[in-house]
Amino acid sequence: MSEVELFPGYVSPLGIGTIPHEELAKYSGLELLQRIIDGKYPAPPIGARLNFGLSEVSEGRAVFRGLPGKRHLNPLGGVHGGWAATILDSALACAAPGVSASSAFAGADASAAPAGAAP
């Protein structure tokens, strides 16, 4: 594995990958996340694709930083809402109370419904 810069100033020393499955039973969810920050595991592939990474974690709190690029723009030239929604989903999942290595990570439920016809 080789060092990868996910966005300016955020480097993953072990590149891109996932937490080895044999490590999941050794640590709590909070400890696993801290080990990602500490560079003991590679950055998750989603972070490389969307240019974001976990920068702080504590009980009930997860802070992600990122920098969208041109590939994250919508047709009108703004940052696609899916970019921000993915970071929000990651933060909520990592900050969920009781996150443990044996539990599945939670996710955000975002839904949209038409507000009615435009005038």
Mind listing the pLDDT tens digit for each residue in 95-116? 986 555 445 455 555 555 555 5
pLDDT at 45 over 60: yes
Answer whether residue 12 is part of any domain: yes
Answer whether residue 21 is part of any domain: yes
Answer whether residue 39 is part of any domain: yes
User: How confident is the model at residue 96, as a pLDDT?
Assistant: 84
Answer whether residue 77 is part of any domain: yes
Answer whether residue 91 is part of any domain: yes
Number of domains in the chain: 1
Answer whether residue 115 is part of any domain: no
Handedness of CA 91, 92, 98, 101 (dihedral sign): negative
**Residue 58 sits in which domain range?**
4-95
Answer whether residue 101 is part of any domain: no
- pLDDT digit string (tens) for 30-41? 999 999 999 999
Average pLDDT, the chain: 86
